[in-house]
Amino acid sequence: MSQGFSLYLARDSGLHRLHPLTKLSLAATLLVAAFALPGPWSSYAVFLLVLLPLAAWGKILPEFLRSVARSVLPFALSLFLIQGLLWPGGSPVAQLGPLSLKAEGLAFALASTGRILMIVSSFLLLALSTRPDLLMIALAQRGFPSTLSYIVVTTIQIVPYFQGKAQAILDAQRSRGLETEGGLRRRLRALLPLIVPLVLSSLLDVEERAIALEARAFGRRGTKTSLQVLSDSRAQSVLRWAILALAPLLLVAGLVR
């Protein structure tokens, strides 16, 4: 089955079998930790000692590294160059032509990159190993509104359809040589009028989609049941609470420092 544009990769692994909320708790706590942990090296340590092993356990290590690299490397490059070279009044460490790399800039870039690395990779780990619809169901079982679940899962599934429509516009423009020949103004003038009909036609479908949803009793107030059963255990429940409890502790420790 295809899952819209979600990154989820099905694997037979312990990580995949974990309850979705367990993995979400980990990502949430690591998010807090990214801001609360001291020094630049702790983030890299967490990445190497926690996230990489988990990715390996989930049998998604190559894809994980690829996704992380794709997201973080351009950012890191930009950061090191801009903050490294242009740090005002910094102490030079190396020469790069007329400019010099400043120590403060590099230190800053190192810390920021570490933080982003930790955050991005923990959420990518979650995305790669968790079916978004099951995550939404898990949240709904904890009281998350079903309207929000509907929005998230439906968006994930229909985005490729809209990307396809946009791609068709792009291809049409390319066949007219617009991307290579057209100057900026020409590209804009050709493109913008195509956005309006794209959106208009999409909106007119909305009424029918609403009718279809109502016909499936979506507007019913009473209790709803669920076909999917998520495997969970006492141990995981305890683990979740333990992980989440770390977050405020880290936060306090970070503030005190």
Partner 1 sequence: MITVQDLTYTYPGATGPALSRLSLTVPAGQVCAVIGANGAGKSTLCHALTGFIPHFFRGTLEGELRVAGLSIPDTQLAELAGTIGLVFQNPFNQITGARFSVLEEVAFGLENLGIAREEILDRCRSALELTGLQDLTDRSPYDLSGGQMQRLAIASMLAMRPRVLVLDEPTAQLDSAGTEAVFLHLRQLASTGQTTVLLVEHKLEWIAAFADRVLVLSEGSLAADGPPRQVLGSADLERAGLRPSRYTLAARRAQELGLASAAPLPVTLEQAVEFLG
Partner 2 sequence: MARIRQDFGTLTLVMIPVAIAINIAVGQLIYSLKIPLYLDSIGTVLVGVLAGPWAGALTGLLANLIWGLSGLNVFYAPFAAVAAVIGLMAGLFGEGGWLRRWWKVILAGLLTGLVAAAISAPISAYVFGGVTGSGQDVLVAMFRGMGLGILPASFGQGVTSDPLDKMVTYLLVWLIVRGLPSRFKARFPRAGGVV
Phi, psi of 74 (to 5 degrees): -60, -40
Question: Minimum distance from CB of 134 to partner 2 (Å)?
Answer: 14
82 binds, among partner 1, partner 2, none (CB under 5 to 8 A by kind): partner 2
Question: 89 or 219, CB closer to partner 1?
Answer: 219
Site string for partner 2, 88-127 (x = CB under 8 A): xx------------------xx-xxx-xx---x--xx-xx
Q: How many residues lie near partner 2 (CB under 8 A)?
A: 74
Give the nearest distance from C-beta 37 to partner 1 in angstroms: 36
48 phi/psi in degrees, rounded to 5: -70, -40
CA distance linking residue 135 with residue 19, whole number of Å:
8
User: Would you say how long the chain is, in residues?
Assistant: 257
Residue 23: which residues within 8 A CB-CB, separation 6 or more? 15, 125, 126, 129, 130
Residues 6+ positions from 238 with CB-CB distance below 8 Å: none
Which listed residue (152, 247, 251, 253) binds partner 2 by CB under 8 A?
152
75 binds, among partner 1, partner 2, none (CB under 5 to 8 A by kind): partner 2
Query: CA angle 237-145-239, nearest 5°?
Result: 10
Q: Among residues 66 and 165, whose Cβ is nearest to partner 1?
A: 165
- The residue (of 91 and 202) whose beta carbon lies closer to partner 1 is 202
- Site map (CB under 8 A) of partner 2, residues 23-42, x = contact: --------------------
Under the binding rule (CB under 8 A), the answer on residue 5 touching partner 1 is: no
Q: How far apart are CA 242 and CA 245, in angstroms?
A: 5
178-237: contacts with partner 1 (CB under 8 A):
205, 208-229
Which of positions 201-240 make contact with partner 2 (CB under 8 A)? 202-207, 209-210, 213-214, 218-219
51, 121 contact by CB (below 8 A): yes
Determine the size of the site formed for partner 1 (CB under 8 A). Answer: 37
Please list, in sequence order, all residues whose beta carbon lies within 8 angstroms of the beta carbon of residue 87, skipping any fewer than 6 positions away.
Answer: 102, 104, 105, 108
Closest CA to 105 of 93, 78, 79, 87: 87
**Residue 225 binds which entry of partner 2, partner 1, none, CB below 5-8 Å type-dependent:** partner 1
Residue with tokens 């007329």: 98
With beta carbons less than 8 A apart as the criterion, state whether 3 and 132 touch: yes
Helices (H), 38-145: 41-46, 52-57, 61-86, 103-129, 132-141
71 binds, among partner 1, partner 2, none (CB under 5 to 8 A by kind): partner 2
Per rule CB under 8 A, is residue 157 in the interface with partner 1?
Answer: yes
- 79 near partner 2, judged by CB under 8 A: yes
Q: Does 82 bind partner 2 (CB under 8 A)?
A: yes
How far is 193 from 172, CA to CA, in rounded Å?
13
* Binding positions for partner 1, rule: CB under 8 A: 1-4, 131, 133, 149-150, 153-154, 157-158, 160-161, 205, 208-229
